[in-house]
Chains A and B, each alone.
Chain A
Amino acid sequence: MGAERSAGDVAVGLLALAAMYIPPYLLLKNGGWLLYAYWVCIALCYMLYSLRRMKPGG
């Protein structure tokens, strides 16, 4: 876990948060289940990234 708080981690986290807020209001206001799938996909991708960063030596 020596790599915690790297600039890359901060950038990826902020990007994931921005992705939760901005695209739904610009591109995905309507579109069936697309918006639901989009939000789940962003959360899932960020979850996989953050768990990888928490691995020993990650």
Chain B
Amino acid sequence: MGVLLNTVVMASYILVGSLLAVGYRRGIRADRDYYVAGYGLSGLLSALTYAATTYSAFMIVGLVGFTYATGVGALGFELSYFVATLFLLTLFAPRVWRMARERGWISPGEMLADLYGSRRLALAASLIYLYALVPYMAAQVKGIAEAVKAAVGGGMGYSLGVAVGLGLMAFWTIIAGVWSVAVTDAMQGLWMIASSLLLLGWLLAHVSASMGLEEASRALEAKGLLGITGFWKPHVFLGFTIPWVFFAVTNPQVVQRLYMPRDERALKTMVKWFAVFGISYTVIVTMIGLFTRSLSELGELPLIHEKDAVTPTLLGQAPSLLAAMVFTSIVAAAVSTADSIALSVASSVVRDLLAGRPAAGSLAVGRAVTFALILAAGALSYARVGFIVALSVLSSYILLSLAPPTILAWISPGRARESGGRAVVSVIVSAALLTAIALAYGVKALTATFMKLPVSAWILIVSTLILLAPNPSGRR
């Protein structure tokens, strides 16, 4: 019954998404239509695609497990990202939105090349996107495969999941580019938040009926999970939050979404509804993690030692239809993140790496590059190479190398114009250092410290100093 229900719900999601993708096709005549919707997205679509692209399967799987294991500090970590993103959007979104249409930016690399007057910077950014984000896409495909495997009860589930994930990503990106991605993101975003809200409602009712919310709270407090646990030492909190604080300026798939709203009103609507989505989803997901832990503390569930197993274990207790909806929401969260990244990285390859070549202007080449990136992510999702796994976790960490030059260019385009050479050196040096640290420490790179500060903070300081250093001629 469970497998059949999971299959029916998943098939409904695929059917509705595909009908929306086909129905929402717009005239795609040029790159600007395919990658940035001709700068014509409505506010609500912009908001939902921004939210669904940002919030991946990490939320309903990773953050639930993280809160379960480390307590309320996980909420602080996720809300620090949220506050920082709103801060950056409030300061810079209107200016970036305006400049994008005035100057005709399509890829984030073009923005950097234009503001710094340096094609080399766009090339460097493009290469960093490729090696930081293709493994991240692979991690999303792996997440889809694991969810499908759990939903169909093992067997060939993993391979089926990879096929479903790649098929959806390819179909929904290639059919109408960001138009079909945005409309399917909207559907997926609503599915993600609705199913998580239903799961929280069921969980709270279950906890109330079995032990009462007060008893559950007491159990959490007794374990210290409502305070700062031993895990969340200050350097760990900083180390985890630094890459996410800069997410809105370093990740091309979200930077590009600042170009897309059709007018200023749509831009404001995008920020407003993204904010409402973000804070609601964060609260819902962390509550699920905490109350699932209370079930374990009071013997209703076994203690779960693997963080990523918390949501599947909880779903094993939930009503079948609800479990099917949440399993499908995991797939939706992963697809909505991965297809946006595929399209964004493809825009960077076509517009920045292939710039000046005859193929660069061809939409067919754009579609072929998108498809090749999706296939590469599928191939990597089968790989168990340690460094690939580490890269997928550390994608935002490596993309930090782009934070100082992007922020400088947004604050002061005039100064950026005079700093092209130093920006290239800053990006290459910091990306090389971050990669070396990722190679040496694996996922522990996030919490590695030097003189009590996370290494990522030091690298941000070094790359900023390189960028702002006076040059020998006295010009900036």
Contacts and interface: CB of A to CB of B under 8 A. Distances in A.
Contact of A20 (B79, B234, B283, B411): B79
B204 to A, nearest CB: 14
A55 to B, nearest CB: 7
Contact of B75 (A13, A17, A29, A36): A36
Given A13-B87, A40-B79, A46-B83, A5 B92 contact: yes
A13 B80 CA distance: 11
A31 B79 contact: no
Interface string B347-359: 0000000000000
B283 A35 contact: no
B228 A29 contact: yes
B87 A51 contact: no
Interface in A5-52: 5, 9-10, 13-14, 16-17, 20-21, 24-25, 28-33, 35-36, 39-40, 42-44, 46-47, 50-51
Interface size class of B (residues with CB under 8 A): 35 or more
B170 interface: no
B40 interface: no
Contacts of B91: 4-5, 9-10, 13
A40 B228 contact: no
A54 B261 CA distance: 14
Contact of A35 (B72, B87, B234): B72
A2 B47 CA distance: 22
B226 A40 contact: no
B279 A51 contact: no
A31 B224 CA distance: 9
A55 B269 CA distance: 10
Given A20-B79, A50-B90, A55-B268, A29 B227 contact: yes
Contacts of A53: 90
A1 B241 CA distance: 29
Contacts of B265: 56
Interface in B153-205: none
A30 to B, nearest CB: 4
B75 A39 contact: yes
A50 B89 contact: yes
B237 interface: yes
A17 B87 contact: yes
Contacts of A29: 227-228
Interface in B283-297: 283, 286
Contacts of A13: 83, 86-87, 90-91
B453 interface: no
Nearest to A22: B234
B300 interface: no
A4 B96 CA distance: 12
Nearest to A43: B79
B444 interface: no
A33 B226 contact: yes
B413 interface: no
A5 B84 CA distance: 14
Contacts of B84: 17
Given A35-B72, A51-B272, 16 more contacts: A1-B264, A5-B95, A10-B91, A13-B86, A13-B90, A17-B87, A28-B227, A28-B228, A33-B226, A39-B79, A40-B79, A40-B279, A46-B83, A46-B87, A51-B271, A54-B94
Interface of A: 1, 4-5, 9-10, 13-14, 16-17, 20-21, 24-25, 28-33, 35-36, 39-40, 42-44, 46-47, 50-51, 53-56
Interface of B: 72-73, 75-76, 79-80, 82-84, 86-87, 89-95, 217, 221, 224, 226-228, 234, 237-238, 241, 245, 264-265, 268, 271-272, 275, 279, 282-283, 286, 411
